[in-house]
Amino acid sequence: DVKVTQSSRYLVKRTGEKVFLECVQDMDHENMFWYRQDPGLGLRLIYFSYDVKMKEKGDIPEGYSVSREKKERFSLILESASTNQTSMYLCASRPTGQETQYFGPGTRLLVL
């Protein structure tokens, strides 16, 4: 079974803090994705990566950065957290040549 894990289920941070969200997949997938999920907006793509050290902006990259130093790990960084970044963050991975994205359990982030 494919397993995508995220470092925290719930996180509370203060405005201005630097926040790291970690995602690890155990199936050697090339492609990894970070989404945020907000009610009524569905999932919106923040960044994705198709290989180690490679990254591409998604639809809403402002205020975020990412890091992929190892194939299995994809990190989302909030350089200076703001209250409008309070959201559910979902990580996903997908092997090249297959259709399905496999999602992690999500991290619910509250920025005070």
Q: Which amino acid is at 25?
A: Q
- Which residue, among 15, 11, 36, has the nearest Cα to 87 in the 3D structure? 36
Tokens read off for 66 = 């990412």
Q: Who's near 40: CB < 8 A, 6+ residues apart? A: none
**Minimum separation from the CB atom of position 4 to another protein (A):** 8
Out of 56, 80, 82, 110, the only residue in the binding site for another protein (CB under 8 A) is 56
- Minimum CB distance to another protein smaller for 11 or for 45: 45
Tell me which DSSP letter residue 38 carries.
E
Stretch that binds another protein, among 16-24, 30-38, 63-71, 77-85 (CB under 8 A): 30-38
Q: Which amino acid is at 21?
A: L
Give residues in contact with another protein (CB under 8 A): 31, 33, 35, 40-45, 48, 50, 56, 58-59, 90, 92, 94, 99-106
